[in-house]
């Protein structure tokens, strides 16, 4: 028996106007456990016009404090429903229940963080040379924001977009990934309960065709996208049709660097967190482990020992440490990248094969996989795998490690393990990435900026500044001089 989900448009729960549906598969047992609508172009048009009407007639007129009340209610509901929501998300994408539950509470924090900003969005008074001119700025919402997310952390990634968009006074059309839409649709029920007026939050589902039509739409004012780099480029091209501003949170191939002077055991734990958490299906995966030559063998031995003990299993079991890949396409891609690694001549020191074991028969399981003596130019060191596959690369000194770290088309995150403060500051300055973690990895806060450089995208989420991505500045200039002016020359004083 599968659950038949509906979309949320203008406060109503609706099917696709064509009745087309997509199946959603539990990656742990390959069972179809739910179906979601494939939105038609008409549904997309409806959702955008609902968002537009809600923006013009209600949302831009109410106070920040009122928006904040609803956002805090939504946060409370997410906390209350964390257990149920996390079971659904784990069933949808195979992510560990301990992680999905944590992400529900983290998302609640995100809504509270941005709720606190709703009444702090204001302009400036600008002193001008001409004292008879009064100049000030207003920060205004953009209008209708389109929010598109990937399947690996649907609720958490959406929070990074929805919370600042609503806080700044925008209305939204959300499109989650076709591989994991259920919790986003469930969030619609919480949005209703929290009292948001109809049309402020609209949720439509479907595959890339829906995203394509949405991002070309002439009646939208902002796009925020989390997903793969190739899709990000396509969206950026679509957005250029109507000059719609875009935030892009894309892929990564992040370096995690261990120096000889590091606390080795903690660094090894950090390496495990970097690549095997979420079965490596995280944009910030520390998938290139760069290790100082004097400790290379020691680190590799400890890492392999630790990775061997990782418990694969049902992601709903709280003791499981690694679940399956989230879907069949992802599973096949990871396996083909492992084959590429074997062919490239890197040393496969752990995993790399099919997984057998009780309870693992039907899931898309890939074991923790470690390649040693990888060259940075190999495809396993350059391409995002988005799976539990680590490339371990030796380095001789600080200059070489910086070169290796930055020799990547991506620049999302990075980690440095050292006890030397001079290295901390030098590397933090020189590494080309949106985040540098020192003696930690995969650590997040709603107030800490998150985003990438190079092919990892642009724009920042989660921080105070993120709210500015959902506002524009208007300048207002008031003349209260008594005298007349020369009409044929621009007044510059």
Q: What is the DSSP string of 423-461?
A: HHHHHHHH--SS--EES--S---TTS-B--SGGGEE--B
| Residue 314 vs 327, nearer CB to ligand NAD | 327
Closest of 178, 191, 240 to residue 20, by C-alpha? 178
Q: How far is the CB of 363 from ligand NAD (least distance, A)?
A: 18
| Residue 116 vs 228, nearer CB to ligand NAD | 228
Q: Reply yes or no on whether 283 is catalytic.
A: yes
Count the alpha carbons within 13 Å of 324 in the hemisphere toward its beta carbon.
31
- Phi-psi category of residue 164: left, alpha or beta, with phi > 0 → left and psi -120 to 50 → alpha: alpha
In the block, tokens 């001119």 appear at 133
Yes or no: say if 420 and 401 are a contact pair by the CB < 8 Å rule. no
| Residue 313 vs 415, nearer CB to ligand NAD | 415
What is the torsional sign of CA 67, 70, 76, 79?
Answer: negative
| Residue 253 vs 292, nearer CB to ligand NAD | 253
Q: Reply yes or no on whether 463 is catalytic.
A: no
Residue 416's DSSP bridge partners are: 257, 438
| Residue 70 vs 158, nearer CB to ligand NAD | 158
φ, ψ (nearest 5 deg) of residue 226: -125, 125
Distance CA 12, CA 30 (A): 31
Q: How far is the CB of 476 from ligand NAD (least distance, A)?
A: 36
In the block, tokens 């891609």 appear at 333
Give per-residue burial for 199-233: e unless 16+ CB within 10 Å, then b.
bbbbbbbbeeebbebbbbbeebbbbbbbbebebbe
Closest of 183, 225, 182, 173 to residue 203, by C-alpha? 173
Q: CA separation (Å) from 380 to 172, 176, 370?
A: 38, 28, 11
Binding site for ligand NAD (CB under 6 A): 148-152, 157, 175, 177-178, 207-208, 211-212, 215, 226-228, 231, 234-235, 249-252, 283, 384, 386, 412, 452
Q: What is the DSSP string of 321-366?
A: SB---SSHHHHHHHHHHHHHHHHHT-EEEE--S---STT-SSS---
Strands 21-26, 437-438: pairing kind: unpaired
Distance CA 183, CA 428 (A): 36
Q: Is 443 helix (H, G, I), strand (E, B) or coil?
A: coil
| Residue 190 vs 284, nearer CB to ligand NAD | 284
Closest of 10, 95, 122, 102 to residue 57, by C-alpha? 10
Q: How far is the CB of 152 from ligand NAD (least distance, A)?
A: 5
Distance CA 424, CA 293 (A): 19
Residue 174's DSSP bridge partners are: 147, 203
Longest dimension (CA), the chain: 88
- Identified catalytic residue from 81, 178, 283, 463: 283
Residue 398's H or E segment, with its range, is: helix 398-406
| Residue 197 vs 449, nearer CB to ligand NAD | 449
Chain position whose Cβ is nearest to ligand NAD: 211
| Residue 215 vs 418, nearer CB to ligand NAD | 215
Tokens of 110: 């995100």
| Residue 211 vs 313, nearer CB to ligand NAD | 211
Q: How far is the CB of 441 from ligand NAD (least distance, A)?
A: 15
Q: How far is the CB of 184 from ligand NAD (least distance, A)?
A: 10
Residue 473's H or E segment, with its range, is: strand 471-479
- Identified catalytic residue from 99, 178, 186, 249: 249
| Residue 404 vs 412, nearer CB to ligand NAD | 412
Tokens of 320: 């499981």
Catalytic residue set: 249, 283
């Amino acid at each position: 028996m599968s659950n038949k989900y509906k979309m949320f448009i203008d406060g109503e729960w609706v099917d696709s106007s064509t009745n087309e549906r997509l199946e959603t598969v539990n990656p742990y047992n390959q069972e179809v456990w739910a179906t979601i609508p494939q939105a038609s172009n008409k549904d997309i048009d409806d959702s955008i016009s609902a968002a537009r009407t809600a923006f013009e007639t209600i949302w831009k007129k109410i106070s920040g404090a009122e928006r904040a009340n609803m956002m805090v209610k939504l946060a409370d509901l997410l906390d209350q429903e964390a257990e149920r929501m996390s079971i659904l998300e784990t069933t949808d994408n195979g992510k560990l229940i301990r992680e999905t539950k944590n992400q529900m509470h983290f998302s609640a924090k995100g809504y509270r963080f941005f709720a606190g900003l709703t009444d702090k969005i204001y302009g400036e008074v600008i002193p001008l040379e001409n004292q008879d001119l009064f100049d000030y700025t207003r920060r205004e919402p953009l209008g209708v924001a389109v929010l598109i997310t990937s399947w690996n952390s649907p609720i958490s990634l959406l929070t990074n977009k929805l919370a600042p968009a609503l806080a700044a006074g925008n209305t939204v059309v959300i499109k989650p990934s076709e591989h994991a839409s259920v919790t986003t649709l469930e969030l619609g029920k919480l949005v209703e309960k929290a009292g948001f007026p109809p049309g402020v939050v609209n949720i439509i589902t479907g595959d890339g065709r829906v995203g394509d039509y949405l991002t070309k739409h002439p009646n939208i004012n902002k796009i925020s996208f989390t997903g793969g780099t190739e899709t990000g480029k396509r969206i950026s091209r679509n957005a250029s049709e109507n000059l719609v501003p875009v935030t892009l949170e894309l892929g990564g191939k992040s370096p995690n660097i261990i120096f000889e002077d590091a606390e080795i055991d903690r660094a090894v734990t950090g390496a495990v967190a970097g690549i095997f958490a979420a079965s490596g299906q995280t944009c910030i995966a520390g998938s290139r482990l760069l290790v100082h030559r004097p400790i290379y063998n020691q680190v590799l031995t400890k890492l392999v020992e630790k990775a061997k003990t990782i418990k694969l299993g049902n992601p709903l079991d709280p003791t499981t440490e690694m679940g399956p890949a989230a879907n069949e396409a992802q599973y096949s891609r990871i396996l083909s990248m492992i084959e590429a690694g074997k062919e490239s001549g890197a040393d496969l020191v752990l995993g790399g094969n099919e997984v057998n074991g009780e309870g693992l028969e039907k899931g898309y399981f890939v074991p923790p996989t470690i390649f040693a003596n990888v060259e940075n130019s190999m495809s396993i060191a350059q391409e995002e795998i988005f799976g539990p596959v680590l490339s371990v690369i030796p380095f001789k000194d600080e200059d070489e490690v910086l070169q290796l770290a930055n020799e990547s088309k991506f620049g999302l995150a990075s980690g440095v393990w050292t006890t030397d403060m001079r290295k901390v500051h030098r590397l933090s300055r020189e590494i080309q990435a949106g985040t540098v973690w020192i003696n930690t990895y995969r650590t997040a806060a709603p107030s800490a900026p998150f985003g990438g450089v190079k092919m990892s995208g642009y724009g920042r989420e989660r921080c105070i500044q993120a709210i500015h991505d959902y506002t524009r500045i208007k300048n207002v200039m008031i003349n209260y001089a008594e005298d007349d002016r020369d009409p044929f020359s621009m007044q510059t004083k």
